Amino acid sequence: MTPYSERPGAPRLAVIIPALNEEAAVGQVVCAVNEAAPGVPVFVIDDRSSDRTAMVAQQAGAEVVRLPVHLGLGGCVQTGYKLALELGYDYVIRVDGDGQHEALDVPRILQALQSTGSDVVIGSRFIDGKGRGHERQTSGPRSIGIVMLRHLLAPITGSPIHDPTSGLIGVNRRALEVFSREFPLAWPEIGVLAMLRRHHLRFHEIPCRMYHRRTGKSSLTVWKSCQYIFHVLLYAFVHVLRVGSAPGAKEVNR
Amino acid sequence: MNVQSALFMAGFAIAAATLYGLRREHIRAEYSVSWLAAGIILAAAGLCPGGMTSVSAGLDAGFGLLILAGTLLGGLVFWTARLVSRLWDERVVLAQRAAILEFRMRRDNRRHGIGG
């Protein structure tokens, strides 16, 4: 297969993988992305892992950015966006380092970014090929939570979003510029959704597969789910409050 | 102006300042919740004479002064919280800048065959 970077007129695409203590899975994730999208640079942003995440990622062929202090998921992802913007990439796709995402979806997300003209493309577990919603890949209580989130987020995003917690997200240069300037540090997935409309960013969802974690345990507990709902409500409130104010009036996160 | 009015106004001012800070992005959404709650509780306490009377009964005559001092202290802490918000943001920006610079230096060194 001809590497992406060598194809005529190929867009400048980079994959970023935020990682914290993912030594057991990150190597396979990097290899899978390299196979699915040959020639596309993979940047692993290591959020001060205490294990061999950085070394394993490097051995698998990724370029590793090591944060000097632990910043959390939001700070970690934004570092990747900032780096990609500095290096002149046109498209960036974020893939989680725990092996839950299907690497073959990376080229599909790029294709969706280009063909739909959307600024943000979200890989959704909960839509089928025709864009209809379903909750086949998750448990009962979680399905209820997701349906709730969907309804809470719809007024913020302007249209329903089927998988508000997806970490498989592709952005174009316009969104990259916005997210490099301003990005939520806590609960970045919902924070980003709250930002989309305010910054007039168009989003699109495509169906994607998602697997169970290869290693470790999910950090999502009942308490965290409650926090999650609370943060959705908070971001909804902030969104209403900021409607009409100039976006980026103050660049909090340059 | 009696103590209850002062308390209500202090609570209202804290809530208003928090909302303004949120709108202008001077304070992060995550940090604003406790301030909003504090402002609302203070304003509610100011509006509820029965509650205030029972609280003041258990305290000394200098209750008004205590409220005033508490309000001033609250304002100071609020100002500090805003400062901490800004410092936290700057810490994140600096850490990201350092990581990117270190990455680019390592990459350049590798390209030019310098170091490991």
| pLDDT tens for each residue of B75-93 | 778 788 778 878 888 999 9
Q: Which of B25, B26, B100 sits opposite A79 (nearest CB)?
A: B100
Of A66, A241, A254, the CB nearest to B99: A66
Lowest mean pLDDT segment, chosen from A94-108, A146-160, A211-225, B77-91: A211-225
Cβ of B107 and A83 within 8 Å? no
**Assigned domain for B116 exists:** no
Mean pLDDT score, A189-218: 79
Within the 10-49 window of chain A, which residues sit less than 8 Å (CB to CB) from chain B? 45
- Determine the average pLDDT of the residues in A24-38: 94
Domain CATH number, residue A74: 3.90.550.10
Partner B contacted by A233 (CB < 8 A): no
In chain B, what residues touch A252 (CB-CB under 8 Å)?
25, 28, 89
In this model, does residue A249 exceed pLDDT 50?
no
Look at residue A252 and tell me if it is in a domain: no
Q: What's the pLDDT score for residue B52? A: 63
State which residues form the domain around B87: 3-111
Domain total of chain B: 1
Domain count, chain A: 1
pLDDT at site B54:
67
Q: Is the pLDDT of residue A248 over 50?
A: no
All residues of chain B having their beta carbon less than 8 Å from the beta carbon of residue A69 are 91, 95
Q: With bands split at pLDDT 50, 70 and 90, how would you rate the model's confidence at A69?
A: very high
Q: Is A68 on the interface with B (CB under 8 A)?
A: yes
State pLDDT tens for residues B29-62: 767 777 888 888 888 877 876 666 666 666 655 6
pLDDT at B96: 97
Of A78, A231, A250, the CB nearest to B26: A250
Structural domain includes residue A52: yes
Q: pLDDT tens, A130-161?
A: 555 555 556 666 667 777 777 777 777 777 78
Predicted confidence at residue A254, as pLDDT, reads 39
pLDDT at A125: 84
- Check A253 against B23: CB less than 8 A apart: no
Residue, of A108 and B4, whose pLDDT is higher: A108
- Supply the pLDDT for residue A251: 39
What percent of the residues of chain B are helix, what percent strand, and what percent coil, each to the nearest 5? 85, 0, 15
Considering the domain boundaries, does residue A250 fall inside one? no
- pLDDT value at position B8? 84
Closest chain B CA to residue A48:
B99
CB contact under 8 A, B22 and A69: no
- Give me the pLDDT at residue A140, please: 62
ipTM (interface predicted TM): 0.80
The tens digit of pLDDT for each residue in B97-113 reads 999 999 999 999 888 88
Note down the domain range covering A17.
Answer: 4-242
Confidence (pLDDT) at A151: 78
pTM: 0.79
Q: Which of residues 48-107 of B touch A (CB under 8 A)?
A: 89, 91-93, 95-96, 98-100, 102-104, 107
Quick check: A171 pLDDT over 90? Answer: yes
Q: Do A65 and B100 touch (CB under 8 A)?
A: yes
Please tell me which residue of chain B has the smallest CA distance to A254. Answer: B93
Chain B positions touching A238 (Cβ under 8 A) are 22, 29, 32
Of the listed ranges A104-108, A145-149, A244-248, the least confidently predicted one is: A244-248
Q: With 90 as the cut, is the pLDDT of residue A229 above it?
A: no
A93-112 average pLDDT score: 92
